[in-house]
Structure 1
């Protein structure tokens, strides 16, 4: 019954995530239309918050509802146990279906994690060499402007376009022909963009987002939100580069030149990506104004949608709460069930855990352990004369059935 509880709780969390994740995607679509593109940092944070919540939904649902059932206490009393209800059962086919759902989710998550590790190994194998003096000087000069010089170490690497890789002292990997392939203004704009990634520690954030994506790989909204986060992250770095003196036109032209030779390592966040390039170029060359009233309406709409999403997340599990409660009681996580029963022959009491009678009493007199005879779900309580006093059946969820004594 422990497996039945775990599998059903996980399956419920995954199915619930499909609904809740769809609500989150709808929320982001509405907010992305309301928040002006001239506020890239706000857009990135809102998109990132939506994605983080979606990635955490399966684990949050499992944890919250397990805690909810655990909060029922150390013991559950059944003062008037029913003699009609059969014990809780889960068919082999039903358990197999739940196990299949859990296995598919786990296998998909493992595949995506292995893919991420393979990309990491591919980055580690890239040949690197010391950067020439003119590149070091350019990075020093631009790094001081954007506040990221001490965070990166430039190097020449076998990559198609500049990219920042690493954490505290990241490597700024530059193609060997970068200093000659692009005009000076475009080079500076691209370097400022990459230094903005280093200042924001985007490599580490993107790595965490990829692990989050592995948890909800089955949800189309997760992929859409991840792509939105990636677009807004690039837009933030574009804005930071422009804010430090890069010409929007030069940056756009540099991105277009690099687009044809972009890297295949997704976690490295190469400067130009075909999937988002047209959107970024449009934002650079046609910036939009941001009316203050629109931002206020956006905040209100975001709060309403957030409350709606939370309400949906909390209300939906109530449809199956009774069964989940019984499965929890029957599982290895469940509490001890106290049964106080009475029939014409008198009263008796039991303490049951996972279908095992751990203590018993007849007419408030404790029954020694050696006089509690249990074989499977059949239990016989022997009286002082060693003759059967009470004969009953016990279910895993703490319910009992017996023939009333005369």
Structure 2
């Protein structure tokens, strides 16, 4: 994989992810928390895996797939376009930046995971199969651990009503039953490896917010208004005390930007109203534009490598619509500069194509005589 292919794959991830972020922004008010979580998680992993998929799939796609867009691009370029080596240099620099950011993000996540491991060792218990509940000096209720998760409540929870404490515990145990800490661990690594991908961060916030609302619904199922109110106050207290979250830890605090929707669902769990057709149409347009832009960027990979001189000189044959079948307009791309004396002179040629028995082609051309 060349540096240009990596840069193009990253651009595909950015534009497709941006389209999916815009789509969810249009429709999330009309979706349940479970539907938002499914859509957000799907969009998150599509965005995260797109750089690898786009870079790996290109060699397996027939070259004829993009003949139409390539012909349109060639019509806008000069007849003889020498190799643009600066494209490869810029791509090499951007690739180095991407790798350095991935290394820095991985190191930062490893430090946070180590802090989580230290916290786990401090509060580890030898309880049985049930998810144990402990009090500790933490900013808010959280679920700690992957293989043997524990519910940790803050010392301030001693002053909460029993029903509120039970609801907080049910919330964190819902995270454990859903394996949310494992999901968060995988998502954190994806973000660490792609820290430059803004849509990935935005999609993750949507996923986390929906995840907290799902567990809120489990925790508050069948409770009275007083418990819901106390639970909401405990949530606000946790948000006020919250600091940087540990990696791989589910916490009741969640993200502040989703607090309005979450508090509304806690105090009044009414069903969502259907979205107007204009917002649905806007969501479809945003999704289509994002993926069309990603496909268009992906289709330019071969063209950019040719422009950069990575694929040698490419000859393009355009048939002339004048009734002469062997008359073509021949142009070049990615060749050596004219000053070297080895460049091909573009123009009108009579060309014959012959396919040999071994599958190779024999092309014979001669300049067309002027009429």
TM-score (norm 2): 0.68
What is the SS of the residue equivalent to 1:164? strand
Identify if the C-alpha distance between structure 1 residues 60 and 151 changes in structure 2 by more than 3 Å, giving closer, same or farther.
Answer: farther
Would you say 1:114 and 2:107 are equivalent positions? yes
Task: Give me the whole-angstrom Cα distance separating, in 1, the residues matched to 2:55 and 2:205.
Answer: 26
Higher relative contact order (CA 8 A, sep 6+): 2
- 2:108 pairs with 1:128: no
**Where in structure 2 are the equivalents of 1:240-389 lying within 5 Å?**
240-243=218-221, 245=223, 247-267=227-247, 268-273=249-254, 275=256, 276-291=258-273, 309-324=290-305, 330=311
The answer to whether the 8 Å contact 1:47/1:228 transfers is yes
Partner of 1:172: 151
Across the two proteins, how many residue pairs are aligned to each other?
A: 301
Aligned to 2:45: 52
Find the partner of 1:199 among 177, 180, 185: 177
The answer to whether the 8 A contact 1:34-1:295 is kept is no
2:179 and 2:130 map into 1 onto residues whose CA distance is: 9
Task: Pick the aligned partner of 1:34 from 14, 27, 30.
Answer: 30
Gap change, CA 1:7 and 1:130, over 3 Å in 2: closer
Quote the offset at 1:89 in angstroms.
4.8
Give the unaligned 5+ runs of structure 1: 73-84, 137-148, 332-377, 379-398, 401-406
Residue deviations 1:39-62 (CA, integer Å, cap 9, x gap): 211111111111221112211211
1:328 to partner: Cα distance: 11
Residue 222 of structure 1 is aligned with which of 186, 200, 220?
Answer: 200
Instruction: State whether residues 131 and 150 of structure 2, in contact with CA within 8 Å, keep that contact through their aligned partners in structure 1.
Output: yes
- Cα distance change on mapping 1:178 and 1:318 into 2, 3 Å: same
Larger radius of gyration: 1
CA contact (8 A) 2:13 2:50 kept: yes
- Shift of the 33–265 alpha-carbon distance from structure 1 to 2, 3 Å rule, reads closer
Decide whether aligned partners of structure 1 residues 115 and 189 sit closer, same or farther in structure 2, where only a CA change above 3 A counts: same
Unmatched 5+ residue regions in structure 2? Answer: 66-78, 313-341, 343-361, 364-371
Cα distance change, pair 205–290 in 1 and its aligned pair in 2 (3 A): same
- TM-score between both structures, scaled by the size of structure 1: 0.62
Cα distance in 2 for partners of 1:86, 1:298 equals 47
- C-alpha displacement of 1:104: 0.9
Quote how far apart the aligned CAs of 1:198 are: 0.6
* 2:17 corresponds to: 21
Please state how far the C-alpha of 1:223 moved relative to its aligned partner.
Answer: 1.8
Q: CA RMSD in A?
A: 4.0
* Distance change (3 Å), C-alpha of 1:278 and 1:266: farther
Alignment partner of 2:241: what SS? coil
